[in-house]
Amino acid sequence: MKQYLNKRVLRNVIREWKWIFSYIRRYKLTVFVYIFFGLFSSVLAVASSVASKFLIDAVIDKNRDTLYISASAVAVLLVSQTLFQALSSRITVALSTKVGNELRNEIYSTVVRAEWEKIGAFHSGELLNRLEGDVSTVASGIINFIPSVFSKTLTFVLSFAVVLHYDAVMAFLALLSAPFFVFSSRFLVKTIRKFSKQTREMNGKVLSFSEESLRNLQFIKSFDLVSRYIVLFKELTEKYREVRLKYEKFNILMTMVLSLLGIVVSYACYGWAVFRLWQGLITVGTMTLFLQISSTLTNSFSSLASLAPLMISISTGAGRIMEITRFKAESDADRDLAAELLKRSGDGVRIDISGLSFAYEGADANVLNGVGLSVRPGERLGLVGRSGNGKTTLLKLLLGLVRPRSGEMKLSVGDDTINISDSTRRFFSYVPQESTLFSGTVAQNLRIVAPEATDEKLMETLALACMDDFIASQPEGLEYQVGENGDNLSRGQLQRLLIARAVLRNAPVMLLDEATSALDTDTEAKVLGNIIKDDPKKIIILTAHRKSVLEYCTRVCSVTSDGRVEPFRGEQLPEEEASS
């Protein structure tokens, strides 16, 4: 079993690095520049050590000609190293930021284009964690990892060649730690990957909890849960701390072992160099070179070995990104046909549903079963039924957010028909039950659906939703700032602003999901009446729990507990049952 796990870990690492290399190829010029900088820095470092050897020998031998040449060479090499490192750092920041932004934009685009039902299974905080933390790790890996491999390898090869040229025994001593890395590599890879994944997952949980609790801070305060949530957050961060401490304990132990090995190797090299100098077989300059180069050789080998944790960290981040980008993207396959039909939808559209059944992924039972329904231009269809029977699910199906397991959903303009999918969303405007306002001004929230709308058009739309008086009473007018989730608005004001946004979209079909539940009956009557008068050919499909809404419907259907849609026969609505 242990051997199987190791093979599986290795396969995952290989698969993730194949994915990373697909991006490395895209930025091959940038990576090549980094490789060049790294290789040049390695050559300068080793050349400086060799030049120092000749400088020291020249000083001891009092050879002025060699002294001047060696001193000049050392000075030029050191200044070149300093300038080159400064230039390299500047270019590194510019290029890594560019690649990081491009990668982040691409991953974000992939996530938001993914099928809603699939990507919706991830918490928004966890998605944010992967989009920021994991993308940053991978972006850094794309730019830095491969060049580091080349530069550290070249440093190792050059150092080894220099030491081997002067003393084969010294070269052997400098590599005493190599067997440890070879024999422990499998264990190190497995352990580092495990801790890296645990740390990232716990960090995602902390972000998800904090994002969700801050978003629902009003609820937490209203139910006097502040102290409870502080305790829960502390418990969660303590778990994160425990995981980090375990990881750091492993890192400390590994670093300590490597340090002890480094000390043993360094003193072995030092002892051998002193012994050779005592025998008179080498010069002081050569001994100094031995000590510098052997240290460089040991450090470069350790640096190469230290790339393994980095490689695992990068591949773990890549695996987490791959998890949220593997889902099939919404195709918008019928966009051209949909756009053409929308232009000709002035006389309204028709919706036909037959044999529709749907179940959420992983669920045993269907939410909807064998639904058959036709809605004609100008119809106002009311959907009633207990919570959980499938009213909102039917609206999601119409919006193409989820797809039916069986049956057909079609939208027609005249004699032309198109299957309802993500391509047909342009035919719909939607007012959900929950607030979907964004931080920003009222104008910005409205113009999300109609960027070219004038201020006059916005006020006209707000008047249809009976929200114009409130906006006009504010000193900022349309520039009135909406708080996060509309927290500075009443529930009724929120609903009217959402309705105004849906009206502004000017789509042939409007979906209202409990959209007037927070309005008093008089305001509700005005708003619904205004919407109907604004476009008599518009289809309006609304869900409701009170009969006052149904007075504006030309037809009412009931969504039953077994997922069927039947004509409403005047039975009590759930809200009336609760009040009785």
d(CA 419, CA 409): 6
- Closest Cα to residue 435, out of 487, 484, 485? 485
Residue 2 has pLDDT above 50, yes or no: no
Determine the residue type at 249: K
Q: How confident is the model at residue 262 (pLDDT cuts 50, 70, 90)?
A: low
Looking at residue 443, its pLDDT comes to: 94
DSSP state of 326: -
User: CA 223, 224, 230, 236 torsion: positive or negative?
Assistant: negative
Is the Cβ–Cβ distance between 574 and 517 less than 8 Å?
Answer: no
Q: How confident is the model at residue 464 (pLDDT cuts 50, 70, 90)?
A: very high
How many Cβ atoms are within 10 Å of 402's Cβ, its own excluded? Answer: 18
Q: How confident is the model at residue 40 (pLDDT cuts 50, 70, 90)?
A: confident
Looking at residue 579, its pLDDT comes to: 43
Q: Scan for tokens 């701390």, then name that residue.
A: 241
What's the CA angle centered on 274, arms 71 and 61, to 5 degrees?
Answer: 35
**How far are the Cα atoms of 178, 345, 408, 430, 539 from residue 333, in angstroms, in the given order?**
56, 20, 17, 22, 24
Looking at residue 341, its pLDDT comes to: 94
Is the Cβ–Cβ distance between 485 and 438 less than 8 Å?
Answer: no
Which residues are CB-neighbours of 446 under 8 A, at least 6 positions away?
453, 458, 461, 462, 497, 500, 501, 504
pTM for this predicted structure: 0.73
d(CA 392, CA 360): 13
Looking at residue 222, its pLDDT comes to: 64
Residue 34 has pLDDT above 80, yes or no: no
Tokens found for residue 110: 């992939």
How many Cβ atoms are within 10 Å of 174's Cβ, its own excluded? Answer: 30
Domain with CATH 3.40.50.300 in the chain: 336-579
How many Cβ atoms are within 10 Å of 123's Cβ, its own excluded? Answer: 16
Is the Cβ–Cβ distance between 51 and 73 less than 8 Å?
Answer: yes
Tokens found for residue 366: 């269907």
Residue 566's SS3 state is strand
Exposed/middle/buried for 498, CB within 10 Å: 0-12, 13-18, 19+? buried
Residue 95 has pLDDT above 80, yes or no: no
How many residues appear in the chain?
A: 580
Domain with CATH 1.20.1560.10 in the chain: 13-325
Looking at residue 178, its pLDDT comes to: 67
Q: Which helix (H) or strand (E) holds 149?
A: helix 135-166
Lowest mean pLDDT among 72-86, 358-372, 440-454, 507-521: 72-86
Looking at residue 506, its pLDDT comes to: 92
Looking at residue 571, its pLDDT comes to: 61
What's the CA angle centered on 87, arms 83 and 91, to 5 degrees?
Answer: 170
Instruction: Report the percentage of the chain scoring pLDDT > 90.
Output: 30
**How far are the Cα atoms of 114, 121, 325, 355, 417 from residue 329, in angstroms, in the given order?**
4, 15, 9, 26, 24
Looking at residue 329, its pLDDT comes to: 83
Higher confidence at residue 4 or residue 55? 55
Cross-strand bridge partners of residue 382 = 542, 556
Backbone angles phi, psi at 575, to 5 degrees: -65, -35
Own/partner long-range contacts of 68-73 (Cβ < 8 Å, ≥24 apart): none
Ramachandran assignment for 411, one of left (phi > 0), alpha (psi -120 to 50 degrees), beta (any other): beta
Looking at residue 576, its pLDDT comes to: 47
User: What would the pLDDT profile of 187-246 be if each residue is shown by its tens digit?
Assistant: 776 777 788 788 878 887 888 888 777 777 766 776 677 888 888 888 988 988 888 888
User: What would the pLDDT profile of 381-418 be if each residue is shown by its tens digit?
Assistant: 999 988 888 999 999 999 999 999 999 999 999 999 99
How high is the mean pLDDT of the chain?
83
Determine the residue type at 559: V
Residue 574 has pLDDT above 80, yes or no: no
Residue 546 has pLDDT above 50, yes or no: yes
d(CA 167, CA 154): 19
| Core vs surface per residue 440-478: b (16+ CB within 10 A) or e | ebbbebbbebeeebeeeebbbbbebbbbbebbeeeeeeb
- Closest Cα to residue 551, out of 334, 382, 331, 408? 382
d(CA 546, CA 574): 8
- Closest Cα to residue 505, out of 535, 480, 529, 475? 535
Looking at residue 219, its pLDDT comes to: 62
Lowest mean pLDDT among 34-48, 363-377, 454-468: 34-48
Is the Cβ–Cβ distance between 353 and 437 less than 8 Å?
Answer: no
Q: How confident is the model at residue 502 (pLDDT cuts 50, 70, 90)?
A: very high
Residue 353 has pLDDT above 90, yes or no: yes
Which residues are CB-neighbours of 71 under 8 A, at least 6 positions away?
55
User: What would the pLDDT profile of 432-461 be if each residue is shown by its tens digit?
Assistant: 888 788 888 999 999 999 999 999 999 999
Higher confidence at residue 373 or residue 264? 373
Residue 3 has pLDDT above 60, yes or no: no
Tokens found for residue 547: 């009969």
How many Cβ atoms are within 10 Å of 520's Cβ, its own excluded? Answer: 11
Higher confidence at residue 555 or residue 216? 555
Looking at residue 198, its pLDDT comes to: 84
Average pLDDT over residues 36-59: 80
CATH fold, domain 13-325, is ABC transporter transmembrane region fold (1.20.1560)
- Closest Cα to residue 294, out of 167, 150, 159? 159
| Core vs surface per residue 521-559: b (16+ CB within 10 A) or e | eebbbebbebbeeebeebbbbbbbbbeebbebbeebbbb
Which residues are CB-neighbours of 203 under 8 A, at least 6 positions away?
129, 133, 240
Tokens found for residue 150: 């080349």
Residue 358's SS3 state is strand
Looking at residue 4, its pLDDT comes to: 42
Domain 336-579: give its CATH code. Answer: 3.40.50.300
- Closest Cα to residue 305, out of 185, 465, 474? 185
d(CA 324, CA 104): 13
d(CA 138, CA 115): 24
